[in-house]
Amino acid sequence: MNIFVDMFITFFKLGLVSFGGGYAMIPLIQKEVENHHWLSMSQFTDMIAVSAMAPGPIATNTATILGYKIAGLPGALDACLAVSLPSLLLILIIGQLFIKYQNHPIVKAAFYGLRPTIVGIIAYAAIKFAISNGIIGGSNFIDVKSSIILVAAFIVLIRTKLHPAYLIILSGIVGIILF
Amino acid sequence: MEKKKINYKLMFELFMTFFKISPITFGGGFAMIPIMEEELVNKKKWIGKEEIVDVFAVSQSVPGAIAVNSATFVGYQIGGIPGALASLLGIVIPTFGIIIVLGALLASFQHNIHVQAALQGIRPVVVALIASAAYKMSKVSLVDKICFTLCAVCILVLLLFKSLNLILVILLGAFIGVIVVKVKMLNQVVSQKKVRGEKL
């Protein structure tokens, strides 16, 4: 299939089901990247780093930079459009309805089950990224330096409101010193 | 809600408002909420305080990026479909430009040994970012033991069966939610009847 059509369908589909915003979309995108053999996992991890550093929504950022990597500027436009279009359509079609029915018992019940599932999927993504970047489960089982950075960053992220961009820049400097 | 007459001036104003908000909001959707509120409710007075709460609630529930959803929805409330489009473009275009520049920079420098080393330091932070997103979301989502179990089972199943379709897993989660709540309600009815029965 044409790469642009393929990318468009893929990102449109992801845009339609990514409940929970940006980070919830990452595992979905990751799966597609793997299935389509678009990039290696470490390349994809670098793209997420750039997306998290840049302003704006993580979801559109990741889609855009991925599209750019795969097929240049037209690819970026294609992916960005495809991932944003479902938002527009959903808001136009069900936005008003949703205001009315957001407290309906069935809607509430669905979200009651949906939210823990999303948390599970994101947690799974974190484990998966740790493995495929050789932080855990690699030749040494645990890569000590990377694991220390991971744990330290995690603590900073959940305890403080420091913006991820600073953390990414800082860890880049630490990386240059350590590796 | 007061719907203004759709005109190009308003469309341009909507576009510019989100165009300005977009590049200064690092960290995506949640970071954008207070800034949008200040700009749209307090400064422009386009939308009421209660209405915007609804907008944000829906934007977080509907799939997609929260920031994009909120902008589109606010635009729609204020200026109908053209308003939604203008706002969507306003929020997407600036970050699109920035990310392309960063992507090009990464592509041209990624083979440099120092950049390689820096990236090796950055990758664990990306894992931490994803993990912290899960952690923060779990604080509001895992409200009881059933949620905890569902989440744990979900992680385990995904680790064991690597080829599972995530979209199906998400839909299954929603379905389980509906079933669990139904069963809970039935149990309540039964136990209420029992209580009443004993008293009689």
Closest chain B C-alpha to A2 CA, distance in angstroms: 22
Residues B20-35: what's their mean pLDDT?
Answer: 73
User: In chain B, which residues have their Cβ closer than 8 Å to the Cβ of A10?
Assistant: none
pLDDT the model gives residue A81: 94
Q: In the predicted model, is pLDDT for residue A4 greater than 90? A: yes
Q: Model confidence at B57, in pLDDT bands (50, 70, 90)? A: confident
- Convert the pLDDT of each residue in B168-184 to its tens digit: 899 999 999 999 999 99
Cα angle A71, A35, A115; round to 5 = 105
Q: Residue B47 pLDDT more than 80?
A: yes
Residues B133 and A122: beta-carbon distance below 8 Å: yes
State the Cα angle at A105 between A27 and B73, rounded to 5°: 60
Residue A64: pLDDT band (50, 70, 90) is: very high
- Burial class of residue A60, CB neighbours in 10 A (0-12, 13-18, 19+): buried
B26/A110 Cβ within 8 A: no
Q: Minimal Cα–Cα distance from A15 to chain B, Å?
A: 5
Backbone conformation region of residue A137, classed left if phi is above 0, alpha if psi is from -120 to 50, else beta: left
pLDDT 10s digits, A96-124: 788 788 788 998 899 899 999 999 999 99
pLDDT at A34 > cutoff 50: yes
Residue predicted with more confidence, B60 or A6: A6
Flag whether residue B139 sits within 8 Å of chain A, measured between CB atoms. Answer: no
User: pLDDT of B75-97, one tens digit each?
Assistant: 998 888 999 999 999 999 998 99
Average pLDDT over residues B100-122: 91
Give A166→chain B minimum CA distance, Å.
11
Whether the per-residue pLDDT at B1 is higher than 50: the answer is no
Read off the pLDDT of residues A144-164 as tens digits, 9 standing for 90 and up.
899 999 999 999 999 988 878
Residues of B in contact with A11 (CB under 8 A): none
Separation CA A126–CA A53 (nearest Å) = 18
Per-residue pLDDT, B199:
56
Query: Among all chains, which residue has been given the structure tokens 């992220």?
Result: A157
What is the CB neighbour count within 10 angstroms for residue B113?
A: 9
Range in B135-139, B169-173, B193-197 the model is least confident about: B193-197
Q: Which residues of A touch B62 (CB under 8 A)?
A: 87, 90-91, 94-95, 98
Residue of B nearest to A172 (CA): B118
3-class SS of residue A137: strand
Place of tokens 């995108």: A29
pTM attached to this predicted model: 0.84
Q: By C-alpha distance, which of B15, B94, B5, B2 is closest to B45?
A: B2
A132 within 8 A of B140, measured Cβ to Cβ: no
Residue B61 and residue A98: Cβ atoms within 8 Å? yes
- pLDDT over 70 percentage in chain B: 92
pLDDT tens string A22-33: 788 889 999 899
| B62 in Cβ contact with A95 (< 8 Å) | yes
Instruction: Find tokens 């979801």 and name the residue.
Output: A59
- At B141, list the tokens: 């989502």
B21 vs B109: CA distance, rounded Å? 30
**Closest Cβ–Cβ partner in A21, A113, A129 for B28:** A21
Task: For chain B, give every domain's residue range.
Answer: 1-109, 142-200
Using an 8 Å CB-CB cutoff, list chain B residues near A73.
100
Of A70-84, A151-165, B9-23, B24-38, least confident by mean pLDDT is B24-38
Distance CA A168, CA A172 (A): 6
CA distances from B42 to A116, B48, B160 (A): 35, 9, 51
Identify all chain A residues contacting B162, using CB atoms and an 8 Å cutoff.
none
Using CB atoms and an 8 Å cut-off, which of residues 156-195 of chain B contact chain A? 158-159, 166-167, 169-182
Torsion of CA A53, A56, A59, A62, to 10 degrees: -40
Mean pLDDT throughout B11-24? 89
